[in-house]
Structure 1
Amino acid sequence: MIILRRKILYIAIISTTASLNSVVATAANQSLGTVTGTASASNNFFGSAPNVNTGETPKSDIQRIQKFNKNATNQETLITRGQFEMLAPTDSYTQVLQNMPNAMVVSSGDSMDGDDVYINGFSKSLINFTLDGIPLNDNDSYTYYTNEFIPSVLVAGTRYYPGAESAAIPGLSAFGGSVETFSLKPSPFPFVRPIVGAGSFGKYNVGGLINTGLFAKNFAPTSAWLYVNKIQRDGYFQNNGALQNQFLFKSVTQIGPGALTLFFSQNNQRFNYYNGATAAQIAQYGQDYNSYTSNPLLPDGKANYNYTGYNYNQYLNWLAYAKYEGEVGRVKFSDQLYYYYGDGFSASASTYTQTLLTPSGTIGRFSPARNGVLLRNSVNNTHRWGNLAKIVYPVGPVSTELGFWFNHNNTLHNSRYLSASNVYLGSSYSEPVVTNTYQPYVNFTVKPVHDLTLSAGFKYLYVTRDFKNTVALAQNKPGQFNVNFGSVLPSVGANLRINQHWHAFANFTQNTNPPGYNQFYTGTYNAELKPQKASTYSVGTHWDLGPWSSSLQAFRVDFQNYILSTTILVGSLNQTVLANAGTAINQGISWQNNVVLNDIFSAYANFGILDARLTSSHQPFPYAPHHTEALGMIARYHGLRATVSLHEMGQSYYNLGGKFLPLGSRFFADASLRYTFRNAPLGQALGFKNVTASLNLNNLFDRRFVQSYSGSNSDPRLKLNLPTNVYATIQATF
């Protein structure tokens, strides 16, 4: 395995070096012109998109991994386009978040499977994710799958808010902050850009980007891009091979006083499950060992080979939207209609007898044949549609932003059992859930004096949820529930301009999210369960002194109504119920820094100190390190761009069955190299505009640490991070 890993590394380095010696070209900075004029800039909307297209990356985005909005009345960081270009095209775009203070990005297998993100101790189900303004968190459990919606090569930038920050941010959950990601705009110049790459663990990608350039100039100026990509890996290190197909489209058309944007994203993926190993197995077989549970034992203790390979996840999802935005006089407006569809299942098997709701509507018990299994598909089918409407208009000295978000979500959770010959037998549960979300907001901004900006606003969250447990109803048990939740959430902030280079801010914002749909089936249903709620306080300062720009913030989140599993006495029996039994405190300091040394070298240094704990149960938050550090150097010289980054996270914990197991501190280093060539041999003959070769090296020093645990708290299995790995990419623009 070591020899094979080195061979892949050598081949990637040699192929990249050969490319460095053969081709040259660089794309000039381009403006999208008519299509992205004032009608579609949205500069006056809160959290507006960065104006970056497929043909350009601003110089300032290359020199800095982050930009601070020094005029904001809250903490706001733009993670720049240049940082996304330095990721491998197979990585989830959320990898850039590991540079942020008090943030952890954990890949339980490979980043192409998606990342688990933790900010200030809060998991991704308590972080608000959006794409081009559309809230993406699942409406049933508020989780988010980071690899499904947009690849890193198509990201224009991410606006990062490490707290609730503002009433003008739509979504269901922002305790740990908001991660607002924006797709690239089409370039006005036509090109075709094939992209291929290969690297460690049998991983490769084949795809490309087509940009139409500006057409229909005389009556409806339009530009569009189309992206397709296939990623595959054998996953021999973790026994989790995967296949992912991506297809995305975006167009922008100037119509009247505004611009119409059409967008479509599709992700189709299948991957096997990764299991882990016990400490004893690692001691016996080495750090690269992972047990693989494809063959559960039969009652006689022998391996059941009928189960081999039936241990995977397959999912298809797409997101589409149509957005029209523009301005009439001093009024800016935007309306965005979207639709999401997801359909997939996880596959497993069982050697046990199951009680099932049959297709005829009756309850039956089914056992596998002797030395056989029952196959299981845990299906999740989701239809979601909604609309985002916004308007900004001045009323005297006050700038007013009004918005309304509506979302309808219809999800079926179905645990289907099949015979060994794939005949459908019945379902152990079948639960349709319908959730409607209504969220109007208003936000005011005023400057009473030249150096002081004040903001104030609120949003009202109203949620209705209908839940049906068809298996319980067939057994004459309670199975139909309907609940409504409502919350008023205020936000106020101030920004003081102390001098030209120094600003200070303060902010208070409340945030909430309703209980997940599991409130209906966990033990005894609790009709009194209320939404979780938190108050976020932050003060900070930004300064910009020549080559040094910096942002320093202190924050505190007071969490109330935290939902915990609680044991209560019902009659003479103990029952498990979800209850608003928890309080928590998440507080700390974050410090972010950029230093532009000259036109060639720049650097960054981000630090975080965190105290995150469930005060009601005297327990730490999982993945909440006491401190984090991220240091990096960026170099650019003509067509060359190179980065090296060092990351350190302090001690944190993992919750396995209620027991907090230590993860220990972790240190790792990554590096990337990217070169765009000019005047390449055969370049004119082949029609090259430019060719870019890139190399990504992750975990340079082969540091090994525990990512998570599985199994039981009495016999935990360790899931380790990937060893040193490499990925090389070539992209040519015609």
Structure 2
Amino acid sequence: MTKMHSTALRNAVAFAVFTLGSGAAFAADESLGTVTGTAGAANNFFGSAPAGNVGQTPSEDLKKIQRFKKGATNAETLITKGQFDLITPTDSYTQALRNMPNTLVVSGGDSMDGDDIYINGFGKNLINFTLDGIPLNDNDSYTFYSNEFIPSRLISGTRYYPGAESAAIPGLSSFGGSVETYSLQPSPYPFVRPLAGVGSFGKYNAGGLINTGLFLRNIAPTSAWVYFNKNQRDGYFQNNPAVQNQFLFKSVSQIGPGQLTLFFSQNNQRFNYYNGATAAQIAQYGRDYNSNTDQPFLANGKPNTAYTGYNYNQYLNWLSYAKYKAQFSSVKFSNQFYYYYGNGFSAGASTFSQTVLAPNGSIIHAAPPSNGVLQRHSVNQTDRWGNILRMRFPLGPVATELGFWFNHNDTTHDSQYYNGNTYVGSSYLEPVVTDTYEPYVALTYQPMDSLKFSAGVKYLYATRDFRDDTALAQGKPGQFNATFRSLLPSLGVNYRILDNWHIYANFTQNSNPPGYNQFYTGTYNASLNPQKANTYDIGTVWDTGVWSGALDLFRVDFQNYILSTTVVLPGSAINQTVLANAGTAINQGISWQNNFVINDIFSAYANFGFLDARLKSAGKPFPYAPHHTEAAGLIVRYRGFRGSIGVNEIGNAYYALGGGFLPLGSRFYTDASLRYTFRNAPLGRSLGFKSVSAGLYLNNLFDRSYIQSYTGSSGNPNRKLNLPTNVYASLEATF
């Protein structure tokens, strides 16, 4: 570790030890106890929000990182707010998924830049992510950026479904499951909470959380919170700095018979690429070596396209919604309108001439200046809006839920080239408009107290219009449209064997249309159909008090996985690559999760996964699909202290590389955290502090780097699967 990073590490440890030590000296003698969360506002809809507000953490969440729903007719885990408290505040909230069986979370250098998530072998474009019920995956390519939407400290919990599971979950791409995350409610009591932290590799955050408490009591009783925060880092990899500014707002008002919720989040981030390094380079120059440089020219005087001034990402996005939910007699109703805006680009440079669509509408060949480069901005601008309507009512002995999800997605992909500050044209300019309609019905019938049946069906209808203005200007095909339809059933059963022991079985079919690249990968395939898969699982859930757990056996049959396929064009001997429904795949395995609440001080967890994920038609494994995973940890609570240590082991897997597969050996990492909350803070009475909380987070304690080197990729000649040991210290004061 370099001197600079060693100094940062020592400073972070000193900061945490000082704050923890000072707190201990002034802490109250009596136990602080636990404040139980309220404001659950459960509406009994499928996947309703867990309880909790910004002022408190439910006591059960402090003992367990996960809870299981015994009466569900499918596999369902609630990842608790207590688990999110164990995550470094600057990391993406998806780090909380790392303890789930058969799940892999990979950061391209730093979780602050977002994570890649793999569940049962499926990548994040095949996993359905939602926030407060709103589907987050892009409707054109199904991509998802985990650092865009909400920080971990504002989450009340995440409902994790490791398969398609139910027709009542809106969204697409749930082959690998659904990750439904919910924001905390406002507290009815006012407070102000400054937030700060510092850690390894120049990372820090500074911000605050303001909760208004209850106001407009006699008109429309309302409470709201406002969050603002800045994350910044120097970067473990040289010349890989990043800055992220976050702003979020949420209010809840009682209006008539129901509640109106307003929400807004904004993320504004810029970060530089890293270019990796070979094992030999790291051995020669040290672990912080990076082949990127801050020099715009190479030693021979040629332009350096790896210059960090050319290579960076910049994103600005926000998500807002208005939701009203109420009950009229026996009918429960909610309507949620949302809007998402994203505007960002990835930047780079080229020393080669480019064929571009010029601003005047002509096609030109743009050349870089002598001994210079053409700078490139790959722009992605998205306007997305939609509505989610739900109704729940009894229909004789059957509980009935009706829902309708509509989503309009308007995205422009624009590869812009610049000569200095002058825009010269776009190598592609692609407006894409996708409309998705998804009505569903979900029924629950309980003929006896110990037996429950569920059945449902949703209908997926989507239309997409695509235009490539650059291709059209060259007289090439460039305007296409397509329509997709799928009818998707779901069936489930739950039987209570004993009071605290249930078994269940579930079948659900899932589908999503092809991505917009259907229109430009090789020859347009007009007959390309949606991908479709059948998910089967059977499992059991138990809770003895001391020991609770869930065991699930699952299988996902992919029937028409979309693959690049070589065909011979009619009337020609020329081979052409097209997208086709040519793939079949199997993802199957076992998931075993356990909680142990030993007493009021000690609790533990142990999760295991075994996975067989392979693309049958190609005879290849799924990338990043480990043969097995293990996660075990201990949580200790004593008075104001809460500490944890967890060990994760990930079995052998493969990494996709240029059509081939590179083996990734098994690896493990160990993380720890320590948090102390006290009420009698130094100068607390005179300054009005209600409480102070100091946290210390240690990641990869044993410094396992797992550098996987390979050749054949100029963009990143190695994969660094773990950061070296790093520490982060945080401080929060509430007054």
TM-score, shorter chain, exceeding 0.5: yes
C-alpha contact (below 8 Å) 2:276/2:717 kept by paired residues = no
Whole-angstrom distance in 2 between the partners of 1:321 and 1:595: 39
Amino acid at match of 2:35: N
Whole-angstrom distance in 2 between the partners of 1:655 and 1:712: 12
2:324 corresponds to: 324
What aligned pairs does 1:353-392 form with structure 2 within 5 A after superposition? 353-392=353-392
Residues 695-723 of structure 1: CA deviation (Å, up to 9, x unaligned): 00000000111479785399943434210
1:460 corresponds to: 459
* TM-superposed deviation, 1:272: 0.1
* TM-superposed deviation, 1:523: 1.1
Amino acid at match of 1:524: T
What aligned pairs does 1:152-301 form with structure 2 within 5 A after superposition? 152-292=152-292
Amino acid at match of 1:456: A
Whole-angstrom distance in 1 between the partners of 2:76 and 2:37: 25
C-alpha contact (below 8 Å) 2:708/2:718 kept by paired residues = no
Q: Secondary structure at the match of 1:9?
A: helix
1:585 corresponds to: 586
* TM-superposed deviation, 1:330: 1.3
Whole-angstrom distance in 2 between the partners of 1:713 and 1:659: 16
Whole-angstrom distance in 1 between the partners of 2:503 and 2:342: 44
Instruction: Compute the TM-score of the two structures, normalised by the length of structure 2.
Output: 0.96
2:479 corresponds to: 480
Change (3 A) 1:142 1:301: same
Whole-angstrom distance in 2 between the partners of 1:557 and 1:305: 43
What aligned pairs does 1:281-680 form with structure 2 within 5 A after superposition? 281-292=281-292, 302-304=302-304, 307-420=307-420, 422-570=421-569, 571-680=572-681
Question: What fraction of aligned residue pairs are identical, expressed as a percent?
Answer: 69
Whole-angstrom distance in 1 between the partners of 2:4 and 2:374: 38
Q: Secondary structure at the match of 1:150?
A: coil
- 1:721 matches 2:727: no
* TM-superposed deviation, 1:368: 0.9
Whole-angstrom distance in 2 between the partners of 1:585 and 1:379: 36
Change (3 A) 1:416 1:204: same
Change (3 A) 1:302 1:681: closer
Residues 211-232 of structure 1: CA deviation (Å, up to 9, x unaligned): 0001111121100000000011
2:117 corresponds to: 117
Query: Structure 2 regions of 5+ residues with no counterpart?
Result: none
Amino acid at match of 1:667: F
Amino acid at match of 2:451: L
* TM-superposed deviation, 1:31: 5.8
Q: Secondary structure at the match of 1:41?
A: coil
Instruction: Compute the TM-score of the two structures, normalised by the length of structure 1.
Output: 0.96
Whole-angstrom distance in 2 between the partners of 1:568 and 1:618: 19
Residues 583-611 of structure 1: CA deviation (Å, up to 9, x unaligned): 00000000000000000000000000000
What aligned pairs does 1:4-23 form with structure 2 within 5 A after superposition? 4-23=4-23
Change (3 A) 1:444 1:708: farther
- Aligned pair count reads 727
Q: Secondary structure at the match of 1:21?
A: helix
The RMSD of aligned alpha carbons is 1.9
What aligned pairs does 1:139-150 form with structure 2 within 5 A after superposition? 139-150=139-150
Amino acid at match of 1:68: F
* TM-superposed deviation, 1:20: 2.0
Whole-angstrom distance in 2 between the partners of 1:511 and 1:683: 55
Amino acid at match of 1:453: K
Amino acid at match of 1:372: G
Change (3 A) 1:191 1:308: closer
Whole-angstrom distance in 2 between the partners of 1:556 and 1:447: 26
Q: Secondary structure at the match of 1:96?
A: helix
C-alpha contact (below 8 Å) 1:275/1:719 kept by paired residues = no
Residues 494-552 of structure 1: CA deviation (Å, up to 9, x unaligned): 00000112100000000011100001111111111111100000000011123000100
Whole-angstrom distance in 2 between the partners of 1:632 and 1:432: 48
Q: Which moved more, 1:554-563 or 1:279-288?
A: 279-288
Change (3 A) 1:529 1:439: same
1:29 corresponds to: 35
Whole-angstrom distance in 2 between the partners of 1:659 and 1:386: 40
C-alpha contact (below 8 Å) 2:149/2:265 kept by paired residues = yes
* TM-superposed deviation, 1:560: 1.2
C-alpha contact (below 8 Å) 2:277/2:716 kept by paired residues = no
C-alpha contact (below 8 Å) 1:392/1:399 kept by paired residues = yes
* TM-superposed deviation, 1:2: 3.4
Change (3 A) 1:293 1:378: farther
Amino acid at match of 1:174: S
Residues 335-370 of structure 1: CA deviation (Å, up to 9, x unaligned): 000000000111111110111101110101111111
Q: Secondary structure at the match of 2:201?
A: coil
2:98 corresponds to: 98
Q: Secondary structure at the match of 1:239?
A: coil
Whole-angstrom distance in 2 between the partners of 1:537 and 1:210: 45
Whole-angstrom distance in 2 between the partners of 1:31 and 1:189: 13
* TM-superposed deviation, 1:242: 0.2
Amino acid at match of 2:542: W
Q: Secondary structure at the match of 1:12?
A: helix
C-alpha contact (below 8 Å) 1:702/1:723 kept by paired residues = yes
Change (3 A) 1:137 1:710: farther
C-alpha contact (below 8 Å) 1:656/1:713 kept by paired residues = no
C-alpha contact (below 8 Å) 1:278/1:715 kept by paired residues = no
Whole-angstrom distance in 2 between the partners of 1:635 and 1:708: 39
Amino acid at match of 2:427: S
Q: Secondary structure at the match of 1:125?
A: helix
Whole-angstrom distance in 2 between the partners of 1:519 and 1:427: 20
Whole-angstrom distance in 1 between the partners of 2:642 and 2:304: 53
* TM-superposed deviation, 1:333: 0.6
Change (3 A) 1:360 1:597: same
Amino acid at match of 1:489: L
Whole-angstrom distance in 1 between the partners of 2:206 and 2:643: 24
Whole-angstrom distance in 2 between the partners of 1:187 and 1:541: 36
Whole-angstrom distance in 2 between the partners of 1:636 and 1:593: 19
C-alpha contact (below 8 Å) 1:584/1:614 kept by paired residues = yes
Amino acid at match of 1:510: Q
* TM-superposed deviation, 1:8: 2.2
Whole-angstrom distance in 1 between the partners of 2:302 and 2:415: 27
Change (3 A) 1:533 1:230: same
1:78 corresponds to: 78
Change (3 A) 1:489 1:629: same
* TM-superposed deviation, 1:4: 3.0
C-alpha contact (below 8 Å) 2:488/2:510 kept by paired residues = yes
Whole-angstrom distance in 2 between the partners of 1:556 and 1:139: 26
* TM-superposed deviation, 1:299: 13
Change (3 A) 1:242 1:280: same
Whole-angstrom distance in 1 between the partners of 2:257 and 2:378: 48
Whole-angstrom distance in 2 between the partners of 1:7 and 1:556: 49
Whole-angstrom distance in 1 between the partners of 2:19 and 2:298: 54
1:136 corresponds to: 136
